[in-house]
Chains A and B, each alone.
Chain A
Amino acid sequence: MPFIPNWETNTVLTQLADALLQVLVQLSKPFHGVAVAHTSGKVLAANAQVANFLPHATDSQRAGSLQGLLRLTQEEFRELVDGLQQQRFISGELLPTAASGAAPYTYSCRLVDYQGEVFVCVELADTSKPTTLAPVQDLSYHLVFDGSTEPLFLLDSEGRFIDINRSALSLVKQQKEDLVGHPIFSSFGLNLFERVMLKKQIKKALEGEKQKFEWWLHGTGQEELLPVEILLQKGAFAGQDVLYGAVKNLQEVIGAEQDVRFRNHQLEFINHLITNISTSDSQYEVLQFTLDELLAKSDMSGGCVYTCLPAEGKASLSYSAGDTNASPVPDELALAPELLEKLLTQDKRTALAQLQEQLQPLLRRKLTLVPITTEKAVLALLVVWQTRDTRLSRSFMVLLDFIGTTIGNYIARHQLQLQLSYSEDKYRLLFESSYDAILLFKDGVVVECNEKAVEFFRCTREELLGHSPTNHSPELQPDGSNSALKAERLMREVLETGKPKIFEWQNRRKDGTLFDVEISVSRLIIDNESYIQAFKRDITQRKQAQLAKRREEVLHESMEHFRTFLDKVSLIYYSLDVHGNITHSNNYFLKYVEYTREELIGQNFFALLVPEQERASRLEDFNKALETSHLSTNYERDVITKSGQLKTLRWNAMFEYNHEGQITGITSVGKDMTDKRIAMEALKDNKIRLQDLFDNAHDLIQNISIDNKFIFVNKAWKDRLGYTDQDIESLTLNDIVHPYYKAKLIYQLRNLYKGENVNKIETVFLTKAGKPVHLIGSITCSWQDGSPVATRAILHDITDRIKAERLQKVYYSIANLAISSKDLNSLYSAIHRELSKIIETRNIYIALVDGENKYLNFVYLVDQFIDKANKTHMRRPFSAGLSEYIIETGKPLYMQKNDLLELAEREGFNPFGATPEVLLCSPLAIGDRIIGVITLQDYQNPDAYVSTDIEILHFISNQVALAIERKRNEEQINNQNARLNAIFESGTHHMWSLNRNYELTSFNRNFAAGFESRSGHVLKPFTRIDDSSIVAVHDNSYAFWEDKYKQVFSGIPQHFEIYLPHTGIWREVYLSPIYLADNTFEEVSGMALDITDKKKSQLDLAQSEEKFRRIFESFQDVYYRVTMEGILRLVSPSVLQLIGYREEEVLGQNIATFYALPEDLKLLRNRVLQEQSVRDIEIEMVTKEGIRKTVIIDSRLVYDEEGNAVAMEGVARDVSELKRTQKALLKAKEEAENLLKVKTQFLANMSHELRTPMNGIIGMIDLLNQITTDPEQSEYIDTLRKSSDALLAILNDILDLSKIQAGKLVLHESGVDLNETLNKIHSLFVNRAQQKDLSFTYTISPGTPRHIFTDETRLLQILSNLTSNAIKFTNAGKVRINVDAEQLEQDYFRLHVRVKDSGIGISPEDQQLLFNDFMQLDNSSTKTFGGTGLGLAISKQLTQLLGGDIGVESQSEAGSVFWFNIKVRLASAAEVAEQQQRQQQQNTEVETLHNSPYVLLVDDNQINQKVAQKLLERLGCITNVASNGYEAIEMATKHQYNMIFMDIQMPEMDGVTATNIIKEKLGENCPPVVAMTAYSMKDDAEKFMSQGLDDYVSKPVKSVDLHTVIMKWEQQNWYNHKQLAIATTPGENTEQEPAQAATIIDMDVVDQLKQIGGPDFVIQLYVEFEEEAALLIEEVKKDLQLQQYKAILSTLHQLKGTGFTLGIVSLAGLAKQLEHDIKADDLEHVDENFSKLQSHYETYRKSYKEIILC
């Protein structure tokens, strides 16, 4: 804490100095003394350390001034100050003085300007230590802080501002004075949420976490929020935790970002613009596009373009866009040329401004001008504007400027280009539009060409330009000249002569096609250069037409040549057209077929000349030939001559074509072969004879031509191979040689043809069925003219031999297969493979039967019809199939399909599956045993097998069977071994065997592993178990084992368990002799099982048994078991404690001995037998001492394994003590309850008794208060009133609580206006609060429903309890009620009410007691605070009744918040209306009633009579009093009272009875009877109402209540009905004007009407009434003047009816009165009443609108 000298100083200066000191302290070392002094030397502030430098008590005086501190004289000090003013910094050293005895210390002084004041700052330090002030030039901290552009501030740990710099101040727009010292939370108008948030951040920052968060500052006025980023960092200042804060204005940051982004946008925009306008062709388009883009991409709303015409001094509108509707843009603008020129100079800005000023009025809007300029001229003006009159940003102006020049330059450049290309274009247009191709040559190459030329050459322009004509011409032109030469010559000629030339030329395109052109060339001189211009015209088509014609001619000619030629040779020639008609023939042919030319030409060849049987097929051949354009070049065909001779001709044919290449016919040239044929046939005859010879041979003889065609084959050949003669004709050798043997045969033949001798050929032919036939034989070749003509071969069929050889091979290989195959499956496949070598095996299966012929297993099956993927073995029961048939008969079978079906039918078996065309089936037999079948079958080819094949199959099948059997056995053995091995090796068993030499003959892996792991050696068979390497390894010991083995070898099997300590494993070991067949044994087997688990659980079991036993023995309760007969078999030792017998004393006894009551036992026994298990059966037992004990028993049946009940067991517990306590408790409870009842009753009674005197007291005070005028008296009365009110409140409290406790409090819920309720509370307590100078406020949070449905009285009661407490316990400050709500569901809310005070607070211990009955916290003798102490208890009960809770949050001395919540429902519209009406009534002031009701008051109590009577009279009632029921009845029947107030509790006859009698007597004329009772509860009231009373007021009666109830009944129109009676009742009040008091309009009626038709309708009704009534009254008036009374009646009647209908009661009442009087001829009051009626009408007319509208 700063040490402040006890001087009187300027407080402002001191504060400043203090602040400065705190800064300095921050800068200096903690042990340095720091002081701040006025320039006069007066120390204004110093830190505590300064004292350290002044150790003596006397020194403390010196601390008051710098002079003292630095031990300077006044003079020296002034020098120091002067020095400081020059140097600003001075330091020195102070030597210790003799007096001080202190260590020497240094000081440094500095002058500091701080907050406009100058201070001397001094730092004191030990000599050795440097001071901090020294290095600091200028007061850096504050300058830096204050001068920083970054907003900075400093907060203390409470969030109060310590300092804040200028930037920050300007950001928050506040004065420093307003902030420093104040919490940040309250400085910026933060709302609750913001405060909480900020607090959280500050708290976190104070915890050391640097906080960086976005925040916002509320601007003043309507400014928007200013987003900021706040950085809070913890630091220390003046020894306290502080927060350094920095603020960053996010808007600026965002602004800067936007600027950059905008610049980018501008560049993008310009780029976009330039890219896009490059497609535009004119200035107009460019500007239009620019403007459109500008409007689209900026917030300019509209614009237009004016093209400048400086010469004419004007600009004309060329385009406008966007928002031009507001005011049209003029078409032309007058522009001073000077001004435009100025735009191009330095004065551009001023010119633009001038221009803008000129144009703005013209265009009637604020404009921005963008001149589009080139260097030399202003081209146009771009004018833009925006809807909103906002300033354009600087950057946007720059953009516009930039656009102006960029576009201007662009346009200028564009225009220049346009001009340039203009002249060129004209020429080009002509050039391009020419129909002819135009080429311009210079120096022999193309320099220019038009589009057409490109088209002509079908190439690109580039491919033409720079090339000479020869590049695009064939080498030679059609006329044979060289293209290059010719072109050169022609060009030269044209160039020289200048004469145009026209010639034809052939060009070649790039794609190689040729085209003919007509070229006209001419010379052209441009710029003194000679060019050749060539026009080319395509004449290809013309050329082609010429060519075609020529071709036709040629064709024709050649045909003619050909025919003449043919005519001259002895060859037959004819031509047919496409229809087969003869078109030409030579003479030879004519002669040959004996027809004349005329007979032949034009005839159909086929009809005329082809033998009938061949006609169709030859015609077909002919047509086919035409169709396919394919002819067989030569053939032999017959023709029939005219005389019918058949002649054979050998023909050559060719197609005839027309010049277009289409077939027009067939020309045939032929040679007569008829003679040759005859010769050959003769030869054939010879051959046939020879053939007979051959045919009888067994060998196959064949004669084939050199081209491998069969010339001859003998019968054996045909039979063996199955071909017919016909087949042979079409076949060649190639077709029948087996492909494998073909190459060899051909090779042999070739050798033969070469003349080599081929002795023997061996080959294989295929039969027609495709079966191979092995042949061996000799072949010879016949020669003719030295060349081979044909061969002859004699072949011997060796197929069978080959087959047999193969068969044998297969037989052996199958025998081998059994050994080589790895399993059965591969054996089957191998058999299949082997079989296929000798026989067709497309479909094969092997089916095996089991030993008993039960099943047939298809172990191997390859079948076309059975999916291969379905590899699972098929298996079927042995039934009646083909296979079964074979197995049963044991005979092989070869069958064709039909035979098979027949057989199947005959033998009664069912050939399963598809029926094959042919099958072979053989049993697989081993000796006599048949193990299955093997079957081959073919589904397509019946010739696949021949009958001999079955022998082969059968032959092999034996071997197959053997192989299968062998393999099967082998596999079985393997399986058996595997299984045994698996058993041997599996599990955890150890197995071994031992011979008499104690050698291990075998052992399993487990055994070996066991040994290995312990000995480290691999255990080898035939190791002796006493071998040194393992002798130590035996479990337990070798001796142990040796002994065991000895015993086994002596013939005694061993079985023992052994524990292996090293592994913790238990083993069960079996050692048995291995008996051989002769009952001797040489070996023993050993087997060890791991039984650790079993063993363990056995041990565990034993342990748990032990445990159980102990529990059992220590049992508190008694466990017992009895037999079904009741004999005790088992009992826990605790039986001693229960009944005093020892365990052994009771065992074997019948349980009945110990039961006090035999029926208990019977009952227990029966229940257990019935229910199996029972609980908590209470019985009485007798102890050894004969004392009875109450015991409860749980018992159940015990069953044996078969499920028979064998015993009963149970647990018994002594509950005698418990029982006794229970009884005592029950008794105590009853007593307590009785007491409570008595108390409640007492309180209820007492309250009634108390109320009656209270009634008198309060009533009289009320009256007194009304009549007294004396202020002193008034004061006394007021005290009386307060005391009695307090007394009544206490009474009510007591009564309430007793009600609540008795559960008799009933809620009376209704619509409640929450605002109103709180208003009530406020007005109730505001005075009390003001008296104590407390502020008392309430708030209702937004969102809290205003109209709710609850019990307002109770709500008020709670509220007032809490509020009165709060005010009571608060002596200064404020009391504040806050209400808010939370929605629970649809219409339900939880209302939270908090009553907050700034009072004395409540300690947590007290808080717990607070809500208890009769508890006042302040039980001290002083007891400043009065009250019953019931308030909170009642409130608690009430909140619970209202579905909520109540509580308090408080700290002693720090005020409390009492809160409660209740569950409420939103009030319905009807409830709200009801509430409002009630409220209205309540609001009516207690005023004197004008109609002076005539009232009967019934009360037996004198005091009450007096009170009530006086109260009523003060209200203006005329009151009669009855003192008991009888009197009441008498008076009520005698007089017509308007109302009867009836006390309920009266002697002799109570109020209810009296009322009923009165009602009975008066019937409908009975006035309302209002109960007056001290039973203030509403449920009592309802009881009375149900008993016949009409209404109710509570005692003590108050005028307000009386007034309300009278008004209430009056409003319900009793008054009107009774009015007449009153009027006629003699009495002083007849003078009263009854109508006056009646309300003008009954609002009930108005409301009802409003509900029917709405407010407008209602108004209309009353307006109508106003008019109608005026007329009626006028009528009455007239009639009255004429004394036409009867005539008045109907008018009055209408007035009355309408009046009552609209609730205009008083008026209608008067009308009724008048009507009544007139009818009764009582005309005395008619005039008077009529004038009243008139005045009533006036009143109505004046006020009805207001009344209705309210």
Chain B
Amino acid sequence: MAESKTILIAEDSSVILNLTKKILELQKYKILTAKNGGEVIKQVENNKIDAILMDLNIPVKSGMDCTREIRAHENKEIASIPIIAVTGNANNYSMEDFKEAGINDYLPKPLDFDALVITVKKYTEA
């Protein structure tokens, strides 16, 4: 990896946040975090981000809302950031919902670490 890619993790549980961060840091990613939807938008606008791991169940703005907002962003670069949803309630949404919102992929909870790494890689190295 010539230059480490930056991943934004949006997650309100600090346990999961730290865990995910650790796993991705081991893979030499640079990690930014956001504990709620508002922070997500701020981080996205202030940093160059290569992918977002988005827990859908976050306060202020839900992951789905954040995704929609990002996709609608005037900055083309921001609007095209790959977003991977993380949720324990995949059943609540259909793939159509995800597609509609602009989510590229999703990971169910509890997190499968291998799947996490593979998926993040898939979207950062494309």
Name A residues whose Cβ lies closer than 8 Å to a Cβ of B. Answer: 1648-1649, 1652-1653, 1657, 1660-1661, 1664-1665, 1668, 1690, 1693-1694, 1696-1698, 1700-1702, 1708
Q: Is the Cβ of B109 less than 8 Å from the Cβ of A1701?
A: yes
Q: Contacts A1661-B19, A1694-B57 known; list 20 others, CB within 8 Å.
A: A1652-B22, A1657-B22, A1660-B18, A1661-B15, A1664-B15, A1664-B18, A1665-B15, A1693-B57, A1693-B88, A1693-B89, A1697-B13, A1697-B57, A1698-B13, A1698-B15, A1698-B16, A1700-B88, A1701-B15, A1701-B110, A1701-B111, A1702-B15
A385 to B46, CA, bound (A): 73
A1698 to B14, CA, bound (A): 10
Of B18, B89, B110, B113, which one neighbours A1661 at CB under 8 angstroms? B18
| B: interface residue count bin | 10 to 19
Digit string of B15-58 for contact with A (CB within 8 Å is 1, else 0)?
11011001100100000000000000000000000000000010
Q: Is the Cβ of B57 less than 8 Å from the Cβ of A1701?
A: no
Closest to B20 in A: A1701
Q: How many A-B residue pairs have CB under 8 A?
A: 54
Q: Is the Cβ of B109 less than 8 Å from the Cβ of A1697?
A: yes
CB contacts (< 8 Å) of A1657 on chain B: these are 22
Given A1668-B14, A1690-B57, A1693-B57, A1649-B109 contact (CB < 8 Å) = no
CB contacts (< 8 Å) of B87 on chain A: these are 1697
B12 at the interface (CB under 8 A from A): yes
CB contacts (< 8 Å) of B111 on chain A: these are 1701
Chain B residues 61 to 120 lying within 8 A of chain A, measured CB to CB, are 87-89, 109-111, 113
User: Could you give 7 example pairs across A and B, Cβ below 8 Å?
Assistant: A1661-B15, A1661-B19, A1696-B88, A1696-B109, A1697-B57, A1697-B88, A1701-B15
Given A1668-B15, A1698-B16, A1652-B23 contact (CB < 8 Å) = yes
A1661 to B13, CA, bound (A): 11
A658 → chain B closest CB, angstroms: 95
CB contacts (< 8 Å) of B18 on chain A: these are 1660-1661, 1664
Closest to B89 in A: A1693
Q: Is the Cβ of A1653 less than 8 Å from the Cβ of B113?
A: no
Q: Is the Cβ of A1697 less than 8 Å from the Cβ of B110?
A: yes
Closest to A1651 in B: B113
CB contacts (< 8 Å) of B113 on chain A: these are 1648, 1652
B35 → chain A closest CB, angstroms: 12
Closest to A1660 in B: B18
Q: Is the Cβ of A1700 less than 8 Å from the Cβ of B22?
A: no
A1715 to B57, CA, bound (A): 14
A1538 to B16, CA, bound (A): 31
A1668 to B57, CA, bound (A): 15
Closest to B17 in A: A1664
CB contacts (< 8 Å) of B19 on chain A: these are 1649, 1653, 1661, 1701-1702
A1653 to B27, CA, bound (A): 12
Closest to A1657 in B: B22
A626 → chain B closest CB, angstroms: 91
A1702 to B111, CA, bound (A): 9
A1649 to B113, CA, bound (A): 10
A468 → chain B closest CB, angstroms: 106
Closest to A1702 in B: B15
Q: Is the Cβ of A1694 less than 8 Å from the Cβ of B13?
A: yes
Given A1648-B113, A1693-B89, A1701-B16 contact (CB < 8 Å) = yes
Q: Is the Cβ of B12 less than 8 Å from the Cβ of A1694?
A: yes
CB contacts (< 8 Å) of A1660 on chain B: these are 18
B11 → chain A closest CB, angstroms: 10
CB contacts (< 8 Å) of A1694 on chain B: these are 12-13, 57
A488 to B109, CA, bound (A): 134
CB contacts (< 8 Å) of A1698 on chain B: these are 13, 15-16, 109
Q: Which of B13, B18, B57, B87 gathers the greatest number of chain A CB atoms within 10 Å?
A: B13
Q: Is the Cβ of A1700 less than 8 Å from the Cβ of B109?
A: yes
Q: Is the Cβ of A1697 less than 8 Å from the Cβ of B16?
A: yes
A129 → chain B closest CB, angstroms: 101
Closest to A1665 in B: B15
A1545 → chain B closest CB, angstroms: 39
Q: Which of B15, B16, B26, B89 gathers the greatest number of chain A CB atoms within 10 Å?
A: B15
B17 → chain A closest CB, angstroms: 9
Closest to B14 in A: A1664
| Interchain residue pairs A-B with the least CB separation, the first 3 | A1700-B110, A1697-B109, A1697-B88
B7 → chain A closest CB, angstroms: 16
Closest to A1662 in B: B15
CB contacts (< 8 Å) of A1708 on chain B: these are 110
A1696 → chain B closest CB, angstroms: 6
Closest to A1712 in B: B88
A568 to B110, CA, bound (A): 147
CB contacts (< 8 Å) of A1690 on chain B: these are 57
Q: Which of B12, B88, B109 gathers the greatest number of chain A CB atoms within 10 Å?
A: B88
A1694 to B15, CA, bound (A): 11
Q: Which of A1649, A1700, A1701 gathers the greatest number of chain B CB atoms within 10 Å?
A: A1701
A1649 → chain B closest CB, angstroms: 7
Q: Is the Cβ of A1653 less than 8 Å from the Cβ of B22?
A: yes
Closest to A1669 in B: B15
B64 → chain A closest CB, angstroms: 13
CB contacts (< 8 Å) of A1664 on chain B: these are 14-15, 18
CB contacts (< 8 Å) of B13 on chain A: these are 1668, 1694, 1697-1698
B108 → chain A closest CB, angstroms: 9
CB contacts (< 8 Å) of B23 on chain A: these are 1652-1653
A1696 to B13, CA, bound (A): 11
A1664 to B14, CA, bound (A): 7
A1674 → chain B closest CB, angstroms: 15
A1664 to B12, CA, bound (A): 12
CB contacts (< 8 Å) of A1697 on chain B: these are 13, 16, 57, 87-88, 109-110
CB contacts (< 8 Å) of A1700 on chain B: these are 88, 109-110
Closest to A1653 in B: B22
A1696 to B92, CA, bound (A): 15
A1664 to B16, CA, bound (A): 9
CB contacts (< 8 Å) of B89 on chain A: these are 1693
B74 → chain A closest CB, angstroms: 31
CB contacts (< 8 Å) of A1696 on chain B: these are 88, 109
Closest to B21 in A: A1653
A312 → chain B closest CB, angstroms: 79
A676 to B74, CA, bound (A): 138
CB contacts (< 8 Å) of B57 on chain A: these are 1690, 1693-1694, 1697
Q: Which of A1693, A1696, A1698, A1700 gathers the greatest number of chain B CB atoms within 10 Å?
A: A1698
A1171 → chain B closest CB, angstroms: 67
A1238 → chain B closest CB, angstroms: 53
Closest to A1711 in B: B88
CB contacts (< 8 Å) of B22 on chain A: these are 1652-1653, 1657
CB contacts (< 8 Å) of B14 on chain A: these are 1664, 1668
Q: Which of A1660, A1694, A1708 gathers the greatest number of chain B CB atoms within 10 Å?
A: A1694
Closest to B88 in A: A1697
Closest to A1667 in B: B14
CB contacts (< 8 Å) of B110 on chain A: these are 1697, 1700-1701, 1708
A1690 to B109, CA, bound (A): 14
CB contacts (< 8 Å) of B88 on chain A: these are 1693, 1696-1697, 1700
A1702 to B110, CA, bound (A): 8
A1017 to B89, CA, bound (A): 137
CB contacts (< 8 Å) of A1648 on chain B: these are 113
A1697 to B56, CA, bound (A): 12
A1701 to B16, CA, bound (A): 8
Given A1694-B57, A1701-B109, A1652-B15 contact (CB < 8 Å) = no
A507 to B54, CA, bound (A): 119
A1661 to B89, CA, bound (A): 22
A1660 to B17, CA, bound (A): 12
B49 → chain A closest CB, angstroms: 23
A1708 to B15, CA, bound (A): 14
A1661 to B20, CA, bound (A): 11
Closest to A1645 in B: B110
